[in-house]
Amino acid sequence: MDIQAVYWAAPPVTRTIVTLTLVQSLLVIGGLLSSYYVLFVPGLVFKFPPEIWRLVTPFLLTGPKLNFFFDLYFMFTYGSHLERKSARLSHPGDFFVYLVFVASSILLTSGFYLGNYVLTSALIMAMIYTYSLDNRGTTTHLLFIQIRVEYLPWAMLVIAFVSNGWDAALAESMGIVAAHQWEFLTRIWPAFGGGKDYLKTPAVVRRYFARYTEDVGRREYGRFWRPSQPHEAREGANTERPPLPDSWRSWGSGQRLGGG
């Protein structure tokens, strides 16, 4: 596999957040950057001068060893699907607005309310939940068991609970809460409750991301660009379901301040 080609073929938002997570996590794991400076600590966010970067950096930190590879794999795989193939996020910039919304919800629930200071796993769980809605009715493999894809987020929570305890599972579940809020506000309420979708991607954001919606390919003599498929064609394409690894994260779940 040409890793460089896969990387440059990834959609822009996913490629950016995976790169930032890779770099920041390597700096922390390697001891070149103290985790103190990137964790979510509300008291430091709202002090003067405010450390506003802490609203972003807690979503870009993963653990060492296998957790490092699994979190990056999940973020890349499910993020790429949602940004490129999701019928729910079909316009340029939709995935960016989706991330801003679910991250804001996770900050309020897992960060402020539950006191967790690493929020990466909850963000990944939000992507998995939305992915499961996109692929409802299909099957995937979890460990050695074939399950319906809509049960995937809940099975992940069971694994998190067994591996890391109640606090870890609760922290990850906030990702499901955030993604379901998005689903309710953008689809369920407008379609069945007569409400208005207030989370539509602003026109300025769509215009900006429209410049980066091309699919990138590679020839022996360099890269080439081809226009993205129309929305209707993408909806009719076969959805690729990523395999799941044989273990789940033990470090990446949100941690409670002052906890063990």
Superfamily of domain 3-236 in the CATH hierarchy: Rhomboid-like (1.20.1540.10)
Q: Quick one: the chain helix, strand, coil %, rounded to 5?
A: 60, 10, 35
Quote the CA–CA distance of 254 and 120 in Å, as a whole number. 7
pLDDT given at position 121 = 95
pLDDT average, residue stretch 175-184: 96
Q: Which amino acid does the sequence have at 98?
A: Y
pLDDT at 229 over 80: no
pLDDT tens digits for range 104-128: 999 999 999 999 999 999 999 999 9
Q: Is 83 helix (H, G, I), strand (E, B) or coil?
A: helix
Q: What mean pLDDT do residues 236-245 have?
A: 43
When pLDDT is cut at 50, 70 and 90, the band that residue 213 belongs to is low
pLDDT at 1: 60
Q: 169 or 240: which carries more pLDDT confidence? A: 169
Range of 48-52, 105-109, 211-215, 249-253 with top mean pLDDT: 105-109
- What are 124-144's pLDDT values in tens digits? 999 999 999 999 989 888 777
When pLDDT is averaged across residues 194-210 and rounded to a whole number, the result is: 89
pLDDT at 56: 97
Q: What are the start-end ranges of the H helices in 54-165?
A: 66-84, 94-106, 120-134, 152-164
| Beta-bridge partner residues of 142 | 145
On whether the CB atoms of residues 57 and 24 are closer than 8 A, the answer is yes
In sequence order, what DSSP letters do the residues of 154-173 get, joined into one string? HHHHHHHHHHH-HHHHHHHH
Q: Give the contacts of 32 (CB within 8 A, at least 6 positions apart).
A: none
Q: What is the mean pLDDT of residues 2-22?
A: 89
Distance from C-alpha of 30 to C-alpha of 113, rounded to nearest angstrom? 30
Strand blocks (E) in 190-232 = 215-219, 222-226
| Greater model confidence, 237 or 21 | 21
pLDDT of residue 240: 43
